[in-house]
A and B are shown apart, each in its own frame.
Chain A
Amino acid sequence: QVQLQESGPGLVKPSGTLSLTCAVSGGSISVNNWWSWIRQPPGQGLEWIGEIFHTARTNYNPSLRSRVTISLDKSNNQFSLRLNSVTAADTAVYYCARNRPNSGTMFDIWGQGTMVTVSS
């Protein structure tokens, strides 16, 4: 059973870079599907950030594209998120998720989420 676990700093300074990693266990990241990052500001709804395929092809939410990089680390079976020039508006719980293989974009496996606060 595939499981996902986010990790990274819980506090980032304004104008800094948010960096998170999602470790994949119980399966290979190199299988034929997409892996996503999704975030949720406190008390608010869900926002898709972007996704990466096992070939390292990426797609990003247009509203975040200029600041986001998602990358793959096959040797460690994990993928990562970098978000530049953060502000308080980037404070959120960040989730990694698996896009169900061979289907439309639906997220069938999620990490538990990690809270990131942007503050000086």
Chain B
Amino acid sequence: DIQMTQSPSSLSASVGDRVIITCQASQDISKSLNWYQQKPGKAPKLLIYDASNLETGVPSRFSGSGSGTDFTFTISSLYPEDIGTYYCQHYDSLPRVTFGPGTKVDIK
């Protein structure tokens, strides 16, 4: 089975800071990687799909990159409303769907 890891597990940053979250797959997954934001008490929201494509309506300060086993999610300038937990999610054709353990982001 493919394992997904995320780092850090949590972070605290100031408004305006650049925030970077990484997601690593245990084997090559090409670009089959999505990113979600989950605010407390709410359902997750799709932000980035297929590693680097910005979902319609999502602010451009969010971006994703990577392929193979190493992926990066970036918030270019942190806003107060960006607090929450961010998950990466892999999929394949078997199908297998695996979420990463999440990265909790809060404001310093």
Interface residues, chain A, CB within 8 Å of chain B? 36, 45-48, 51, 59, 61, 95, 97, 100, 103-108, 110-113
When the two chains form their complex, are residues B44 and A107 in contact, meaning their CB atoms are under 8 A apart? yes
Q: In the complex, which residue of chain A has the Cβ closest to the Cβ of B56?
A: A108
When the two chains form their complex, are residues B87 and A104 in contact, meaning their CB atoms are under 8 A apart? no
When the two chains form their complex, are residues B95 and A51 in contact, meaning their CB atoms are under 8 A apart? yes
B54 to chain A, nearest CB (A): 13
A112 in contact with B43 given A105-B91, A106-B91 (CB within 8 Å) = yes
Residues of A within 8 A of B91 (CB): 104-106
Residues of A within 8 A of B100 (CB): 45
Q: In the complex, which residue of chain A has the Cβ closest to the Cβ of B97?
A: A48
When the two chains form their complex, are residues B55 and A46 in contact, meaning their CB atoms are under 8 A apart? no
Task: Give me 14 other A-B pairs in contact (C-beta within 8 A), A45-B101, A97-B43 excluded.
Answer: A45-B87, A45-B102, A46-B99, A47-B99, A61-B97, A95-B44, A100-B49, A104-B32, A104-B49, A104-B91, A105-B95, A106-B49, A108-B55, A110-B45
A105–B44 alpha-carbon span in the complex (Å): 15
Decide yes or no whether B83 CB sits under 8 A from chain A. Answer: no
When the two chains form their complex, are residues B95 and A46 in contact, meaning their CB atoms are under 8 A apart? no
